[in-house]
Structure 1
Amino acid sequence: MNTQQPNTLQIGVRELSSYLLTGSDSKAVLAAAGLPLPEAVLSAEERPGALVARTGRDEYMAMLAGTLPAPQGEWCFRRYDCVFELTGGNWIAFMAHLCQYDFRQLQRGNWLMTSVAGVNCWLYHEIESGSLLIGADPSYRHYLSEIFSAVLDDLSATRKTTGGAS
C-alpha cells in the first residue's frame, strides 16, 4: 500500500501505545508523566513521541511512541488503537471519498472525532509533518486497510489516460 514517489499519497500504520485516562486525577497523571495537557475539550497537543487529546472534561487519550513510559494512574487504561498515517500527496481529496467532513477546514494541530468509511475514528493533523493520523478500534484494521487501498486504486485509475481521442 505504500509508495515511495514524491507527492504521492502514502498510507502506513504508525505503531503507538494508546491510553485512556479518565477521572479527576487524569491531569495530574499526565503532568507527572511529563505529557502535554490540552486545555480545551476536543483539542490535542503533541510533543516529540507523544500526542495527547482531551476528549472530555476529565478524559484524555494519550498516544505514545514506544520509547516513552506509560502514564501511571488508577484510571489509566491501555487501548490498542490501530493508527493509520497519511503522508504526502493530496490526502484531503482522498478523505473526501471516505468522510463527509470538509478537510480543507482541518488545520495543523486540530483533533477530530468522526466517521471514516462508516467507522468511528479519531483524526489528528500533525503540526510539523502535516501527516493525518487516523485512529480506530483494532478490529477495523483489515476493513480500513482494504477500503483505503480500494479508494487509492480508484483514484489512480481516474488519473490515467486510457487512450482514445483527446
Structure 2
Amino acid sequence: MQTQQHSLVLCRKQEADTVNKQCKMCGKVVTFTDTTIRRHNANGKYIYQFAIYKCPKNHSWNKKLGIYKSFSEHVDPESIVPTEFETVPENKKISISLDDNIYEWIEITISEVDGHFRLDRTLSDQIEGISRSAISQKIKAGTILLNNCLTKPSQRLSLHDKITIKVN
C-alpha cells in the first residue's frame, strides 16, 4: 500500500481591515487601517505575531494576532519544510476515493498558515465529497490523526502540522 502526500497553504483572503481606536499621538478616536504588514517578536519560549495598523497621520498601533511556541532545540529548516509534496492549488480540492485500494493513507502537511483554521473545517473545505460531521466522526474514531496523535475536531492547525487520514 502507498501513501498519498499533499501540502496545503492556508490563507484567509483579507481586505484592508479598519478599527476605530483612540490614537495616543493624535489625542482622539481615529480610524486605524491594516497595512497587511506582520511583525514577529520572540522571547526564547514564544513567538508573538502582530498586525501593524496606521492612523491617517501615520501613527502606528500593533494588534496581537497570535502566540506560537518556539523550538526548544535547534532544528534544521530543511528537515521541517516538505519539498517533495504536491501543493494543493487554492481553488482545487483533494479527491479521495474510498473504493480504490491504491492508497492506504493520505498525508497532508501544512506548509503555510495565515489566520486561524480548525482541523474539521479545513478538511471539509479541502477534501471533495465528505461532510464536516463525517470528518468529525473520523477524528473522534481515530482514523484522522494530527501529528500522529488523537485530537479533537476543533483543534487549530499550525505551520508544519501533519494530518494523516486512513482511507480504508
Higher relative contact order (CA 8 A, sep 6+): 2
Task: Report TM bin, short chain.
Answer: under 0.3
What TM-score do the two structures reach when normalised by structure 1?
Answer: 0.27
More strand by share: 2
Structure 1 or 2: more helix by fraction: 1
